[in-house]
Structure 1
């Protein structure tokens, strides 16, 4: 398997906040772009993008509480479900469509990813890597579903229903015929991993990954 492409940006140092992928995502978005953040939560990423990148940002969020928080911050966010409502967006409506730490909670990740690439000229997807060594250790040594910083809820209460590894996601990208424009894995400290490391290394030591995709 080919080695992953690395980001053109300098290595990003993790922010103190728990969502270290936000810093990487922000560095990948061109200033002034039209952005749709799918599953935007409380709007933290949208705020970063509007402040630092001056984007024309929109959001869609499943929980009413999340929508309320976003609106209170002055963000343009509506309530919606990624599995059902993306179909209503026209083709090429945005420069970037972002799905951060959400694809594993969707019912049909393949269709959601296809919609992202239809709606946006590029899709940015971040997700926790279920192939990380600590997760393998928990399953192999203790025989129990892991609880980690990025997978912080027990198996019976987590919203995640489709766990995947970095290699799994790469396989899905190939299956739908999308192009990986750039990608990076983040280790336990939030640092981007070595640019020339093979997929197997990323899959073992990357806690999470960020991919930028486009249509082939």
Structure 2
């Protein structure tokens, strides 16, 4: 079993940013959870009760080695196996840009969880804009893939995601924008590399997306 230490926060500042929004003893669903490292970190920091959803065989095995409860499933099929308000938080960490059905997964997060937390690489960062102006798809530490091998199909800026939240009747509670481990407050859509949002339903009665 992998034991995570305090150095994990330094190595993965996105973990620490998400953890700052989590209350102790919360029930959490992590979508596209990989090998369960984030849930393991939250368990050790906040004693949360976590479930992961992951499709990749190797990552599912990694979750089991980390002692993480995991369900092997394709997120594109929705979250019909989970009842309304089953979790305190539903997390989608750096997976949004790889989803085909982006709006549906946000609505499902709002249905299944009391709050949603999403992180994604900000396509509006100035270096990305410069590469596009120069006639190339951006490649960076936040977007490390080339156009021909990237799993990312729905890249977005901060403004794009906030418009999606309005469309999904999601109320944004907090936003954090970072460059490496530093918060970016001035011109975040231009200078920030990684964005984090915490949100909830505008209407507290969840709506099913499975109809």
Q: With structure 2 as the length reference, what TM-score do the two structures score?
A: 0.89
CA shift digits 1:30-63 (9 cap, x unpaired)? 0000000000011110111000010001100121
Structure-1 residue corresponding to 2:14: 21
For residues 117 and 60 of structure 2, what CA distance do their matches in structure 1 show? Answer: 21
Structure 1 runs of 4+ with >6 Å offset:
none
Structure-2 residue corresponding to 1:193: 184
Structure-2 residue corresponding to 1:149: 141
Report the alpha carbon displacement of residue 147 of structure 1 after superposing the two structures with TM. 1.1
Matched, 1:104 2:90: no
Structure-1 residue corresponding to 2:109: 116
Matched, 1:208 2:199: no
Q: Which runs of 5+ in 2 are unaligned?
A: 1-7, 203-211
Q: Matches of residues 175-190 of structure 1 in structure 2 within 5 Å?
A: 175-187=167-179, 189-190=180-181
Matched, 1:59 2:43: no
Report the alpha carbon displacement of residue 192 of structure 1 after superposing the two structures with TM. 1.4
Q: Which runs of 5+ in 1 are unaligned?
A: 1-13
CA shift digits 1:120-173 (9 cap, x unpaired)? 0000000000000010111112x1111111111111111111010010000000
Structure-2 residue corresponding to 1:169: 161
Report the alpha carbon displacement of residue 16 of structure 1 after superposing the two structures with TM. 3.6
Q: With structure 1 as the length reference, what TM-score do the two structures score?
A: 0.87
Q: Matches of residues 31-70 of structure 1 in structure 2 within 5 Å?
A: 31-70=24-63
For residues 163 and 82 of structure 1, what CA distance do their matches in structure 2 show? Answer: 18
- In the comparison of the two structures, how many residue pairs are matched? 195
For residues 164 and 78 of structure 2, what CA distance do their matches in structure 1 show? Answer: 21
Q: Matches of residues 76-91 of structure 1 in structure 2 within 5 Å?
A: 76-91=69-84
